Each structure stands twice: as C-alpha cells, then as structure tokens.
Structure 1
Amino acid sequence: MFQKILIANRGEIACRVITTAARMGIKTVAIYSDADVRAKHVAMADEAVRIGPAAVAESYLQGQKIIEAALHTGAQAIHPGYGFLSENPDFVEAVEAAGLVFIGPPASAIRAMGLKDAAKALMAEAGVPVVPGYHGESQDPDFLAAEAGKIGYPVLIKARAGGGGKGMRLVEKPADFMDALAGARREGQASFGDPTCLIEKYITHPRHIEIQVFGDGHGNVIHLFERDCSLQRRHQKVIEEAPAPGMPAGVREAMGRAAVEAARAIGYTGAGTVEFIVDGSGPLREDGFWFMEMNTRLQVEHPVSEAITGLDFVELQLRVAAGEPLPVRQDDLTVDGWAFEARVYAEDVPKGFLPATGRLEHLHFPSASAFEAGPVRIDAGVRQGDEISPWYDPMIAKVIVHGPTRSAALNMLSSALEECRIVGSVTNVELLAALSRHGGFRRGEVDTGLIARDMAELMPASEPSFQVLALAALGGLNLLGAEEGSDPWDSLVGWRHWSAARQFVHLESGGRCIEAQVTSLGQGRFTVSVMGETVTLNMMGLGGPTVRVEVDGHQFNADIVCEADRVSVFVSGRSFSFGLADALSEVDEEQAAGDTITAPMPGLVRAVYGRPGASVTKGEALLVLEAMKMEHTLFAPRDGVVSEVLAAEGEQVTNGTLLLALEPQDE
C-alpha cells in the first residue's frame, strides 16, 4: 500500500480522499491555487504545494507541475478526484512515465470512453444498447441539421467531449437548431477544448440511471447496483438516490450486466460509472434503456452507493491502484436500505440557477458522522468564513442520508435540509427541501423534466410573514445578543425615561424599504409593529443564533444571523434575508425602469449582440455571459434602442457590472 499520495484536485473531493487516506494511515499532499491558499482541503492535508494562479488553466490543469509536486514531496501515487485532469489520458501517461501510479483507469480506457461518438460505436460493437442518433465526424451545420430532421425532434445536441451538462442543448423545433448548435460548440470549446458535437434522439420521459462499476488488475469486474440521477436542472444533477425507485430485479440484472460488459470491453480498472438513459414513460423494462456515456472516474454522487453497499469507494480505489484484488465479488453484494444525496450549491434559483459568489459568514449543517453508517453525512469542501469564488464550481456541500426505506430516507433528507443554515450567498437549499417533499418525487414518479415542469409549485412566490419581519427587526437592532443580568436596567434596551423603550429599523427586501417599530417590554419580551400588524414576541434563548419564540401561546424555533448590513431569518424550513436599509436611500429609477443590463454574476463576456443605435425588442438576446463554464444569455427587458455597449467580448466582469444601456425609441 502507498505511504503518501498527492490529490490533484480541490474542494469537497480532495477533502473526501484525504479523510479515507488518513484513516488508512496514508500521508497526503494537497495542491492549491492562489485562490485556495486558505482552503479546507489545504488545511486537512499533511502537506500542500502551490500550483499557480486562480485560473484553472494556470493551476489545476497544469499536469506537469502537479507531477513535479508529487515527485518533490515523495508521493508515490496521484489521485485525480473528479473533473480537472481525472479523465485526461495524456496526464495518466505522463504520471506513469514519471514512475508514479495513477489512481484510476488506464489511459486506453479513458481514451475509449472520452469521446461520446467513439464510445457509442464501441458499445454498439460490444452489444450494449445505444441511443439512436448521429455520432459521425461531419460537423457541417447544414448536414447536422439534416441529420436532426432524420432522427426526429426533439433532439439533444451534445459536445462529444462534454460532461456535467456543459455543451448540451435540447432542441424542440428546427428553427432553433442553428443557435443551439453554436452555443453547444462554444461551451464544448471553452470547457473541453473540443467543439465537435453529436446529435441524439431526446427521450420524452427520460430517467437518468447509472451503474457503478469497479475493476481490478486481476480480471475482476463487478457492479455495485444503480443510482437514479433523474432530478436535474440545466442537465446537471441535483438530488441522486440509490437504489432507483421502481427497479425490477430483472432490469437491474440486465443493466448491471450491460455495464460490466462495457467495462470489460475497454479493460477497465478502478471506479467508473456507466450512464444509461431510460424510458420512464411507464414501468422500467429490460429493452427500455440505452447507453449514454461512461465516466471513467469517481462520481460526485458516489456516497449514495457507498451507503447502500457499506463500502468505502476511495479505499477500493487505493487498494486496486496498489495492485490488490477487489475484496468483494458480485455475489457478496446486497442492497441495504435507501440513500439520497442533495447537492447544496451557491446559486440563485429564481434567476434561472445562476451561480453565485460570496463569503460564507455563517455555515451550519445537521450533526453528521462523516464516514460511518450514520443516518446523515455531510461532504463539504468549505468552512464558515470561506469564499465562494467565481473561479470554481459553486458547490458548498453534499447532504447524504441513509435510511431503511425510501420513505424514511426522504423524511431524513427533508429534516436535514431544513437544518442547513447558510448566510453570505444565496443557495438552492429551499429548492432541495421542496423537492424532498414533492408528491410525485415521493411516489417515485421522477424524470429529468420534473424540476422545469413543476418549478412554480416547488418555489412559489411568497412574501415574508409579519412574524418573520418582526424577528428580522429584532435582529437588525441587535436586541437578541445581550444576556440579561440581575440589574433590572439590563432589560431596558433602548430605554427612554418618558416611555417604553422604542426603536425603529428599516429592512430592505425585494427593492422595498419596510419600516418596523420595536418596543422593548423587558425580560425578553417585545412588541413589533410592521406592515400594519402588531405582534408581541417572547424570546427565549437556546444558544448561538437559535432562539425559542413564543407568539400567542405558540412556541417555535428560529435562527437569526446578524451581519453589519444584513439580517437573515431561518424558520420552518424557509430562509429570508433582509438588508439593513438607510431610510433616506432610494431605488435607482433608471435601473428600476429596465434601462440597463448588468452582470447577474461574475463571468466572461462570451458574445455581444447589441450594437449602439440598434433597435431591440423585449426578450431579444443582447449578450452571452459565461460563468463556471456555462453560458447565460441576457435579454432586453423592454423595447428600446441600444444607447451604449460597455462590455467587450472576452472581458471578465464582476457581479453588477454595467454591460449595456437602453434608451426609449423615438415616437
């Protein structure tokens, strides 16, 4: 077994590998960019080596520097994690040429599965069913459009070197094909250095079910059952589960057999995942699944499979890479209970899942035992006080639960998500909690279109209740932090001798300024008048930001987190954030009238369509912004004339940067 390994990755997966390595007595070396100098994975490792500036291309993709770091520190092997260089066969060969061990499959297997078109041809030869489509070399747009017509709409355009939803476009009618192809090519080039695309038939009620496989250097290949990853937004996974709901034994056996044959066909070793698109229009059947692609690495969602098998997949990776045979055979494996994983991201759900940034001023997760068979597990690559930067994936953590049944595990997931408290960036936690309570999902009725189809139900527009506003007012005035002593004057916060203690605070929410009047009654009791309502609250501390609140004989818990210019309230599984407004401030009228286009998040200006003097109509595409390797189109908020274009293609911009200005059209 290795004595020291280097992890060629960052964030959550680096922390995950370090944890298992430490348990096995293996020393670890982390690498870091300038943006990650104080990152969690750097602090957890025994040693750490700076690899370059913040940009991925200048740091985490610098294979030769990573190999040199491994050699310099005496590491014997390199674990690639997922993403970055994990599926780069040239890097694998360079690692091995340097006398190091690559903890993953051979370069030949990665090459065989690295390009979707070639992989599908190989799988068809091996007898694995594949989705109908065009996987050839021709990239002439008119030819591809003609092929799409032959396949029949709707179709999916996919960058052949893609993954994680990047370089993928759903096209429902011929008129949209050319624009979608151009966007897929740009993302393929930006993310993978390859703009080549393939066209596939889109299954109208698709389920995304994948099979975990493992191979060793002794000819053994096994599967570790399936995961259902159908809950997706923008072709990216949101909640995964294992096993898949409604999976008959015969279909599980057929899919597992196909996955093992796929791995054997390319001489696979280590951890891998064979992904299938499955017809979810009715009961699952043995002739209703097709090969999509193989991920030749550990997957983000591997913890759910670990939970139901009781195995540590990173440990298996290390043992296989060290030359040991797999310690289990297919007949040894059984499914134990049910597991879910919810991916907590810094992203603005109402704004179309735009990635977000920010400093994590407050971070709290439910109690967890990281790698034991406990009911809740938290895999996180950040700590309180860390920054979510625009340079890398905006994942904050993965919340994993394991229960005896699907229903029990879903209840646990819902409870665990409601306990999450994150301040400093908008997140998708409320959406995840809503999904865990969604009636169709709870019944196992899931397909990849569920989120888009039921978004209004999952995230209904709602105003904060006056009780929430009252709690925010108390937090905004810092009336919850001081402990009362024996002196009766201690209870009179803001006291005036001619009346009861009374203060005012202005809360900012949704562009509105809301005035609240707070009167202290002493002994933790307050009356708050806001939005035409008056409520009396009795506050009973529980420690930290958590308070026990009594209103009209009803008690409940709430978390109130205060910052210099903002207060956040968490109650009943919902979160609300309020700016502490200057009562004299006014909303900028020009921006409110929709006269400007500003960057909704940090990113790279990929395309500028608007030109000074050009007339535009409401909804017309004006710019394309790329963030976290995904493209986001910005549209005209109203009819008008472009008066100024303040951004150029290739320019890196920050959140809120003014990009383009409009003026009214002449009558």
Structure 2
Amino acid sequence: MTQTVDYYTHNPMIHRDRRLGTSPSEWVRSFASEDLKPLIVCRGPIRKEAMDVFEEMGITHYGILLSEKDSIVYPNALAPELRQLTDPTRVHRVPDYTGASKEERVERIGQIIQIALDNGYDSIFAGYGFMAEDEEFVAAIENAGLSFIGPNSRTQADAGKKDEAKRTALEVGVSVTPGINNVTARTLVKKHPTRDKLLALAKAEGLTLDPSVLKDAKLSLEDLADQILYASYEKGLDLYSIEELCAQVQSEVEAMFREYPGSRIRLKAIGGGGGKGQRILGASLLTAKNPNDKQVKEAAVEAPGLVREVLNEVKANGVGDNKNVLIELNIEQTRHNEIQLLGNGEWCVSLGGRDCSLQMHEQKLLEVSVTQESLALAIEKAKKAGRKAEVKALESDLKVLKRMEDDAAKFGQAVGLDSASTFECIVDRDRYYFMEVNTRIQVEHRVSELCYALKFTNPKNKSDYFVVESLVEAMALLARHKKRLPKPERIPRFGAGAEARLNATDCSLSPHAGGMIRYWSTPIEGEIRDDQGISLVNPDTGMFMRYKVAGAYDSNIALLLTQGEDRLDSYCALAKVLGRTTLRGTDLATNLEFHYGLVNWFIGQNVMAKPTTRFVVPYLTLVGQLKEEANKLDTVFAFLQLKKAYAKRMAEQFPDDPQAAKAMAQILDRKGTLVTRPMDRLLADPHLLSGWLSINKKNFSIEKGKAQWLDNPLTILADTYEYLNMAFDPKAPAAEVIWGHDNELLQKGLRFYASLEEAFGTRDYFKLNGILQKEKPQGTFSATQWDEIRAAHTGFEAGLELLGILFLVAENTGFWGFRVEDDLEVTIPSHLHDPDLQARMKKILVPPPATKADEIVAVCGGMYYSQEAPGMPPFVVEGMHFEKGQPLYIIEVMKMFNKVNAQFSGTIDKILIQGGDGTIVQKGQPLFKVTPDEKFVAVDPEVIERERRERTTAYLKAVL
C-alpha cells in the first residue's frame, strides 16, 4: 500500500494503486481498464468523484455532459469540475440532462447516445441521478452497442421499478411493507371487469400480447391487466384517465385506512426516489383507533391531489407513461436502513449497512455505517459498562442486520445484479420490511467504502490478488470485465463512517436556492469533502471562485464524511469538521449549523441511539421552542442587572469598604464581553444551542429552580469558545473569535485553576470548590496566600452565573424530555408532533419574508406553478375569495414540489406574477395583491422590549 495526498480532499488517504495494468501479476493486469472510454452523464459530487477515480485508474479518454441550463439560466453555476477537465473536446453540451417532458427525455437519450458514438466513447456512467435507474435509457445504451456502468436493463426492470421489485421480493421470500402494488391494473379491471372485455380492449388498441398470456385462462384479471398495460406503454397509449386512476387510489386508500386504523398511508410513484414522488396522507387518523366512515372518507379525499403531485414530480403524467403508484402502510416508528450490494450477474455480495433514518421531506440528512463488526464491538463495550438494556437493543440490531444482508444478497442474485445497487429497508425493532432497490450507486456510498474494501483473489493462486476501495472503480471494472471478476472477499477498513449532507436549506430545513458561495474554508485533517469541486480555487490565480447554488437541482452542496474506530469516534470527528467549516456568501443558507447541533446532540446523549424517520421534524420543533424562548432574552441587560446585584451584595458584605464594591465592578466590566459574546451566539442560533446543551448536560443540575454547576464554569466557558469555533486566532477577523483582552483573562483563569488542581491533587470541581469555600488556609498555603486565592476564585467566577440562564432556557422549554433511553429508543414528547406547533415553530426558526398587509409574497425562490398539474384549473383567480389553509400556488425548488397554503383568509385582487407557469421567482417577490378578511395589527416595539427585560429579570433571579 502507498500513502498519497488526495488532490481533491487535500487530506492524506491510504489507497491502493488503481492502475491494475502496472501490476507485476499477469492475472491482475488482465483486469486493467485503462482502455475504458466512459462518458459521464451526471452532475454534482458524483461526477467529480468519477473523474478522479477514472484518472486514478489510468483512464484518459473520458468526457462529461454539460447542461446549458447551468450557464445560461443560472449564471455562475457552471460546473466547477471544468477547472480539472480543460480539454474542450471532452465537454459536450446539452440543453439539460434529462428533459422536462417524456418527449424531451426520449430526445435527450438519443442525443446522449449519439454523442458517445460520435466521440469514441464505449460506455456511459450516470452516477446516482434518475437516468442511472432508467430502464429505457439503459436498454437504449445496450442496443447501441455501448456498455452501461451500472445495472443492466433486465435488472433495472426487475428491481428498479418499485412495483416489480416488490413482486420479486415476495417471490424470493423477503418480507415487504403491506400495501397494493398494482393500482393501475385494478383501475383497468374496474373499467373492463371481465377477461373477455380486457382482451377485446387489447385487440381494439392493436396491442401485442405474449401467446402464453392469451392461452392462460387461469391468469388473474389483474395480472392480465398488467400485461395489457405493459403493451400499452410500449405503444405509447393511455388505457385509463388520470381521473380514473385517482378515483381508484382513493378507493384503495379508504379500504387500507379501515384495515389499518390509526395508521397513515404512503403513496409512491414507481419511478420516484431521493424524496421525489412520495406523499403521506391520513395524519388526522393517527389518533383514531376506530375511525368512523366520515373520518375515513375525509382523510382519503386528499388522495387524488397527491397522486397528481407525485406523478408530476417524476414526470410520469404524459400519454403512455407508466403511472403506477404504490399504496403502502406507513410504518410510523421505523428506521431507514439500507444494504450496499455489488454483483456481476452470477455472484452478489453485501457490504454492510447504513442507517439513514435522519431525514426530512424523504431526503436523507445524516447517514452512519452499520456493520456486524461495529455492532459486535458496541455490544462488548456496553457489556463491560453494565448497560444491559443497551446490550439487548444492540444484539437485536445485529440479528436484523445479518438477516437484511442475507436477504439483500439473495435478492441481488435473483435479479441478476451486475453492478452496484442498494437494498433499502425499514426496520421496526426486531423486524424489517423490504422497501425498494435503488439500481444505482447511492449518494452515501462512501460511508460503506470507509468500512469495507473488496479483495479479488486469483482462484488458482490465493497470494495473487488486488484490492478495490472505491465502488465507482468496482462499477467500472464490472462494466469492463463482468463475469470474469471472481467473487470478492470484503475486508474491514475503519470501524465506522458517517456522512452529513451539506444542503442549501434554511434553519427550518426548507430549500433555499439562489445563494452565491463566495468563500469556503479549506478541509481540515481527517475531512473527506465531496463538493463537485466548488472548493477548488482558480488554478491560475489561486483565488476562490464564486459559485451559484442553482435551484434546478437538488439542494445538496457537498457531502462531508469522517471515519473512526467506532461510531462515537466518527461522530466526534464529524463534529470537529462541521465546527471548523466556514461558508460565506450572498443570500446563502445551509444546514451546516443544524448538522453541528444534531451531531453534538447525539454525542451528548448516545451515538448508538435508534432515531426513527419521524425524528427530525419534532427535533426542529423543539429547536424552534429554544429559539422562541431565546428571543425573549437580552444578555446586555442581564449583565447590567448582574452588576447591580453584585454591587448590592458587596455593599451588604463589606459595608465599611466601598472599594470592595468598586473593585468587583471593575472585574465585572472586564468580563462583560467574555461572557455575553458566546451566549449571544448560542441564543441567536438554536441549533448551536441544542448541541451545546446536550454535551453540557452532565455539567450542571437544577435544584429548586436554580442552576447548580457540576464542573468549573470557567472551563465550560473556554470549551464553549472552542465549540463555537471562536478560540483565539490572531489571523482571524476579530468579529469571529474571542477578543484578545478576553482571551488573556480567560487563559489567566484557566492557569489559576490548573495550578490549584495540581496543588490539591484533584480535577473534581465540586471537591475543589468545597475546599475554596473554607476560610481556614488549606494545603501548604499561608493565610495571606489563601485570602488572595479565595478572592481570585471569586473574581474569576463572578459573572459566569449568566451561563446558567442557558440551562434554564432548556428546562423551561422541556428540552430534556427529548432524550435517548437506556434501550437506545428515542423518547419524543407528544406535543412536538402537533402539526400546528410544528408550523408555528418553523416560522420562529425562519420568519416569513417581509410583506405588506395587502400582499402575498413567495415563501422561497424557485419555479412558480399556478395549478396542480397541466390541464387542471388554477388554484386562484382574480376576484376569488380564499380561505385559510387553501392552496394558492406550487413552487418547485431543488426538485421538490411544495404546495403553499394561505396563512389567512381574504380575496385575490390581482395576480402579479408575470410569465405564467415555470417562471422563476425570488424569495419575498410579490405574487398577489389581496384584501385580508382581518386587519393585521403591528406589535409595539416598546412592548416587546419591556417583555424581554421582564423575562430576562426572571431568569436572572434563578441564577443568582
């Protein structure tokens, strides 16, 4: 093995030489792939990663597609990878990557294949975009005589479509989520309810059916309908209307609500993924154990609109599109686990699991590795610590993981998997249900790469082998050599891996497009950053180049990864990376602080916790409550009141010595900004406050409503500066770090306590503080020295009481009720699931854009649509009265369709948006002139300020 410096992450990384053609082994050289000529047709971090891997493999003839939309519609969003690929003959321009409609998609497929043929490419790599699991695209590539670096078209058909994948899972004995896979077939049967009528339909439409289907009189009507539908897709015909499909879905949903009372239903377009094409309905029935007929019908009436939304999102609403939608029971308390698979069509191996439960809007946020080795290690550690409930929970996870890995490999072989794919599951305690297969590499694939490498061994010579540590490399090798590759052995690398998706979202995790990145700190040691090359500076000037976060794609900016000996180690490394990362720009919002707070929340609780897919929204609601309470506080006023309280106390203690009060006032004056600056940072950003509270939970207690320190508050203050990345740095802007005079005072205090700890042989603050309370000299100190030490102790800790306010904020918002139990289950207070509270806290985290009383403005930047789907009536027209909660418009931002509902009732006076559907709007842009039914009354600023001071005073009394 050789150690090199990876030019992309700027970090030392150990990897094997990927140029197999240079190996001294003839057998290894036979798998050289330098002659592979791939065309990369994806974008984002995976395109940059593929470019790096191909170059490391010795592949020189590769090219990329470049969407003209990037540089024309979204200036400054031009692919930063071009700083690396400077040969213009290997950059091929297309209007966009997939086309906006079915017709454009077919046109783009033909265009891509022709580009490959005209420019000498022999293969196509599609990364983890939607074209990577497009059966039609892959089949067209194969028919053109090209190789697809990914699963073949047969696997795409059997596993890529969600309905077919579920059928395959049932055939091979894998447990699946209860639901309906063939609602389109049922729709057709409803319309043509007999075998004769179905066959007559096929004949009338000129559809060609397999003779065996025509002869099989025992074939069920629904299976026959499926065969007819497949034939209609080939011919580009619709045999039912969307209205008929919606009606059938609504009927099926009603039946499922009755069969599974107290549950919600999930609708999933079969071609969806990555959060697209999925909706959940039935929230009103969650608490209804025996819903009546009226409640069921009211809950199901939402289904037709949601069907149109999911079909619109995956662009499956055209004539002849497969519009099948899965109708599944939504398993409420679940974790989202997935198994990494790799196969060559004959063998299939699993590469451990990943827990992807921390997600929102069906899009993953934080992913961690789950391997048999790491769980076994965690079990041993929990046993040694005597944590019996944790041991039992981890042992259950290990059993489930083994079953999932076995079933995943079995499924992969059943569908002839010949590349990388992911077997996705939902885990409910000691059970798991198969969910779907992603027939492509996943965004989070590096998490698995950090845990396992692949060892390919010569069957005739066990000492002759080569090791692959990149899944992209493995995919290229499979595309080039397929069944010649022997079944590999997986080799453990690091104990754990973790990945945070850095997204362009605001504090409430809503997409925030259009920002400009103007600066990004360089990666630190141990950080793996996949960012499409945004961090790469201009090779000519060495300057950082601006980058526009375009709204046409998903919200991901970068993938930040770390590894460690175990999960805690990887989480601590990730916390360090997130804390040291600095992003600056114009109109730029990211989830960096959310991740930092969340990772530290788990570090303070238990990193082996089992959060469900319903974790993030209640967590955000809790963070919103922290923010709401923090908004009521004024630290400057608090400090001034603190000074008055100290002056009064000193006057009472030393009535004959006015200099004592004056000296204390001078001490406090020196400490004002030392204490209040980090407090203001924490109170201003509730995500930072959440993480800080969690990791400091062990350092305090609340007794009779008052905060009591269990560790030295000065040490905690120093740690807080580190936590906030505000430690002293003479090269950093003063506004971003501790000020010089504050740092001198802080370091002087730390040295003082370090010397005392050494003198008394203890680092226990509770014990040390008890010693310092004694008037009689302790240890070897003289009476004079002891008086000076006690006075210094009082001076150093004076004013630090203010930090206790932060713990009281947590206490008053019920922050500690959201916790990880001994059995690793996460307890979420029930009130945090309240939709109204969630909506209100979202506005606290991100206040709506400023608007006039007679206007409705865009809630965010994106693409505006006035109707639910093409051909549908607009949501509102001029002169129309609307009610609170009524849909007003849809805004598509970063591939998600967001239906925006009215926050109040009123009348539409004028529609201001020009250009119609598909127009790009900016956050805060006026869309409608309205007359509200009720007038808005502005709150008097003086009233707000008075309330803040009253609230601050109440907190101050609890810490003094």
- Shared fold (TM-score, shorter chain, > 0.5): yes
Tell whether the 8 Å contact from 1:32 to 1:42 is kept in structure 2 after alignment: no
Aligned ranges for residues 318-397 of structure 1 at < 5 Å? Answer: 318-323=476-481, 329=487, 332-334=490-492, 336-350=494-508, 353-367=510-524, 375-381=526-532, 382-383=534-535, 384-397=545-558
Specify which of 250, 257, 275 is matched with residue 399 of structure 2.
250
**Who is 2:300 aligned against?**
177
**CA apart distance, 1:54:** 4.7
Cα distance in 1 for partners of 2:580, 2:634 equals: 20
Q: TM-score, normalised by structure 2?
A: 0.54
Matches for 1:472-511 after TM superposition, within 5 Å: none
1:159 equivalent to 2:269? Answer: yes
Shift of residue 423, structure 1, vs aligned partner: 2.0
- The corresponding residue for 1:491 is none
Q: How many residues align?
A: 556
Task: Note the alpha carbon deviations across 1:614-661, whole angstroms, 9 max, x for none.
Answer: 333333322222223312122223332221223486241321432222
1:42 aligns with 2:82: yes
Aligned partner of 1:628 in structure 2 is: 894
Distance 2:249 2:400 in 1: 38
Q: What is the DSSP-based 3-state SS (H/G/I as helix, E as strand, rest coil) of the residue aligned with 1:541?
A: coil
Corresponding residue number in structure 2 for 1:442: 607
What residue in structure 1 maps to residue 475 of structure 2? 317
Q: Deviations over 1:451-502 (max 9, x none)?
A: 01211334542569889xxxxxxxxxxxxxxxxxxxxxxxxxxxxxxxxxxx
Q: Which runs of 5+ in 1 are unaligned?
A: 369-374, 468-509, 511-536, 558-587
For residues 115-514 of structure 1, the aligned pairs below 5 Å read 115-136=161-182, 137-138=185-186, 139=245, 140-152=248-260, 153-172=263-282, 173=285, 174=296, 175-193=298-316, 194-217=322-345, 219-243=346-370, 246=394, 248-280=397-429, 285=430, 288-310=431-453, 311-323=469-481, 329=487, 332-334=490-492, 336-350=494-508, 353-367=510-524, 375-381=526-532, 382-383=534-535, 384-424=545-585, 425-439=588-602, 442-458=607-623, 460-461=626-627, 462=630
Letter in 1 for 2:554: D
**Structure 2 stretches lacking a partner, 5+ long:** 1-32, 72-77, 187-244, 286-295, 317-321, 376-393, 454-468, 536-544, 637-683, 685-725, 748-847, 868-873, 936-960
Correspondent of 1:644 among 899, 910, 919: 910
Local SS of the residue matching 2:421: strand
Deviates more, 1:101-110 or 1:321-330: 321-330
Asked if the contact 1:224–1:333 (Cα under 8 Å) also holds between the matched residues in 2, the reply is no
Larger Rg: 2
The match for 2:777 is: none
What's the Cα RMSD here?
3.2
Sequence identity (%):
26
Contact persistence 1:319–1:325 (CA under 8 A): no
CA gap of 1:142–1:418, structure 2 versus 1, over 3 A, is same
What secondary structure sits across from 2:422 in the alignment?
A: strand
CA shift for structure 1 position 404: 0.5
Structure number with higher helix proportion: 2
Query: Which stretch of the first structure deviates more once superposed, 221-230 or 243-252?
Result: 243-252
Distance 1:406 1:538 in 2: 26
Contact 1:51 1:65 in 2 (8 A): no
Residue type of the alignment partner of 2:179: G
Task: Describe how 1:584-663 pairs up with structure 2 within 5 A.
Answer: 591-593=851-853, 595-607=855-867, 608-647=874-913, 650-655=917-922, 656-663=924-931
Are 1:207 and 1:229, in contact at CA under 8 Å, matched by a contact in 2? yes
Local SS of the residue matching 2:498 = strand
> What does residue 39 of structure 2 align with?
6
Contact 1:185 1:197 in 2 (8 A): no
Pick which of 225-234 and 44-53 moved more. Answer: 44-53
SS in structure 2 at match of 1:333: strand
- Map 1:8-87 → 2, pairs under 5 A: 8-27=41-60, 28-36=62-70, 38-45=78-85, 47=87, 48-54=90-96, 56-57=98-99, 62-87=108-133
- Deviation per CA, 1:421-469, whole angstroms, max 9, x where unpaired? 22221011111111101245624131101101211334542569889xx
Aligned counterparts of 1:94 and 1:80: Cα–Cα separation in 2: 14
For residues 543 and 141 of structure 1, do their structure 2 counterparts lie closer, same or farther at Cα, with a shift above 3 Å needed?
closer
CA deviation after TM superposition for structure 1 residue 55, in Å: 7.2
Q: Which amino acid aligns with 2:520?
A: L
The Cα shift of 1:324 comes to 5.1
- Preserved CA contact (<8 Å) 1:540 1:547: no
Q: Deviations over 1:528-557 (max 9, x none)?
A: xxxxxxxxx999631689965326533799
TM-score by length of 1: 0.77
Please list the CA deviations of residues 382-434 of structure 1 after superposition, one character each: whole Å capped at 9, or x if unmatched: 34411111222221100000011111111111111112222221011111111
Structure 1 residue 275, shift from structure 2 partner? 0.3
Whose relative contact order is higher, 1 or 2, with alpha carbons under 8 Å and at least 6 apart? 2
Q: 2:822 aligns to what?
A: none
Cα 1:548–1:171 change in 2 (3 A) is closer
Indicate if the aligned counterparts of 2:172 and 2:411 stay in contact, CA closer than 8 A.
Answer: yes
